């Protein structure tokens, strides 16, 4: 999963990002309410970790605005405000959980998993395409009855492509999912990962194919699906 951290204490946010990475949780960091709103509008995050005291406003206002706009994105408030009133107010305006600073990272991760596991959200499900299955929470991938052991980024790519099976996923979208929108990584790294992923899938006898849609992106199709014929026509163009 990929989450957004809205926190004006940069050093704290960076430590947090490092800890989350160890648990295979990718994250982007923003420092203001305005940046958080822009980020939420541009990427499909699994959750937001939100500090309340931000330089340009109160995190609670952001929660209120998102909920009023019908956005159900899971939100975990982290705050140095310890009062029960703050906690109640945070939950009342629509946050999913509230954690007082200081907290342990293990606790934070447990809460994150809990709020993203709610029914209706996209995480914690098992995706299927051809003979490939992928558990979106543990990121365990099985091909037939064999366990696929790949790199984290390749499992992420596979997840995104499987979520959009039979549809073209833009290269830029994949890049954002892997590195975040402010990353300085080379755009070609997406192709390197795709290349490696394809080889691993075919070595293990996966019955899915990742097609390159020239100049646009990639499309995963399972064999036997209607999308397969469409994709092979596109490949020949
Ligand atoms: Ca703050």
User: How remote is the CA of residue 8 from the centroid of ligand 1, in Å?
Assistant: 5
- Pick the more confident residue, 23 or 93: 23
- Pick the more confident residue, 86 or 157: 157
User: How remote is the CA of residue 29 from the centroid of ligand 1, in Å?
Assistant: 13
User: How remote is the CA of residue 77 from the centroid of ligand 1, in Å?
Assistant: 11
Nearest CA to 115 out of 91, 89, 143, 144 is that of 91
Give the separation between CA 61 and CA 78, rounded to whole angstroms.
Answer: 14
Q: Find the radius of gyration of the CA atoms of the chain.
A: 19
User: How remote is the CA of residue 131 from the centroid of ligand 1, in Å?
Assistant: 47
**Span 126-236: which CATH code?**
1.10.10.10
Average pLDDT over residues 204-212: 94
User: How remote is the CA of residue 173 from the centroid of ligand 1, in Å?
Assistant: 30
User: How remote is the CA of residue 218 from the centroid of ligand 1, in Å?
Assistant: 40
Q: What is the pLDDT, as a whole number, of residue 186?
A: 78
User: How remote is the CA of residue 9 from the centroid of ligand 1, in Å?
Assistant: 6
Q: State the average pLDDT for the chain.
A: 84
Looking only at the bridges linking them, the beta strands covering 208-213 and 217-222 are: antiparallel
User: How remote is the CA of residue 110 from the centroid of ligand 1, in Å?
Assistant: 22
pLDDT at residue 82 above 70? no
pLDDT tens-digit readout, 195-204 = 999 999 999 9
User: How remote is the CA of residue 54 from the centroid of ligand 1, in Å?
Assistant: 5
pLDDT tens-digit readout, 222-232 = 876 555 555 55
Confidence of residue 145 (pLDDT cuts 50, 70, 90): confident
Query: Using H for helix, E for strand and C for coil, what is the string for the chain?
Result: CEEEEECCCHHHHHHHHHHHHHCCCEEEEECCHHHHHHHHHHCCCCEEEEECEECCEEHHHHHHHHHHCCCCCCEEEEECCCCHHHHHHHHHCCCCEEEECCCCHHHHHHHHHHHHCCCCCCCCCEEEECCEEEECCCCCEEECCEEECCCHHHHHHHHHHHHCCCCCEEHHHHHHHHHCCCCCCCCCHHHHHHHHHHHHHHHCCCCEEEEEECCCEEEEEECCCHHHHHHHHHHHC
Instruction: Supply 232's token pair.
Output: 């092979």
pTM of the model: 0.52
pLDDT at residue 175 above 90? no
User: How remote is the CA of residue 26 from the centroid of ligand 1, in Å?
Assistant: 21
User: How remote is the CA of residue 229 from the centroid of ligand 1, in Å?
Assistant: 53
pLDDT at residue 10 above 70? yes
Confidence of residue 189 (pLDDT cuts 50, 70, 90): confident
| Burial (Cβ within 10 Å: 0-12, 13-18, ≥19) of residue 68 | exposed
Architecture per CATH, domain 2-116, reads as 3-Layer(aba) Sandwich (3.40)
User: How remote is the CA of residue 42 from the centroid of ligand 1, in Å?
Assistant: 23
Query: Partners of 4 in the beta sheet?
Result: 28, 48
Average pLDDT over residues 44-69: 92
pLDDT at residue 76 above 90? yes
User: How remote is the CA of residue 52 from the centroid of ligand 1, in Å?
Assistant: 6
Domain ranges of the chain: 2-116, 126-236
pLDDT at residue 176 above 80? no
Give the separation between CA 91 and CA 138, rounded to whole angstroms.
Answer: 28
User: How remote is the CA of residue 55 from the centroid of ligand 1, in Å?
Assistant: 7
User: How remote is the CA of residue 61 from the centroid of ligand 1, in Å?
Assistant: 14
32 phi and psi, to 5 degrees?
A: -130, 165
């Amino acid at each position: 999963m990929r989450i957004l951290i809205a926190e004006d204490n940069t050093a704290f946010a960076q430590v947090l990002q490092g800890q989350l990475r160890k648990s295979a949780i990718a994250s982007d960091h923003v420092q203001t309410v305005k940046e958080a709103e822009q980020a939420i509008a541009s990427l499909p995050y699994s959750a937001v970790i939100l500090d309340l005291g931000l330089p340009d406003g109160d995190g609670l206002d952001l929660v209120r605005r998102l909920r009023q706009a019908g956005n159900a994105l899971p939100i975990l408030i982290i705050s140095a405000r310890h009062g029960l009133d703050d906690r109640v107010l945070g939950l009342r305006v629509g946050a999913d959980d509230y954690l007082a600073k200081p907290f342990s990272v293990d606790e934070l991760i447990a809460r994150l998993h809990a709020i993203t596991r709610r029914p209706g959200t996209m995480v914690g499900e098992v995706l299927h395409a051809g003979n490939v299955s992928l558990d979106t929470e543990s990121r365990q991938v099985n091909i037939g009855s064999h366990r696929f052991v790949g790199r984290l980024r390749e499992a992420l790519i596979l997840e995104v492509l499987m979520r959009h099976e039979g549809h073209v996923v833009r290269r830029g979208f994949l890049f954002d999912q892997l590195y975040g929108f402010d990353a300085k990584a080379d755009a070609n790294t997406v192709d390197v990962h795709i290349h490696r992923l394809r080889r691993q899938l075919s070595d293990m006898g996966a019955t899915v194919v990742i097609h390159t849609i020239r100049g646009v992106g990639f499309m995963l199709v399972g064999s036997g699906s209607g999308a397969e014929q469409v994709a092979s026509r596109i490949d020949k163009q």
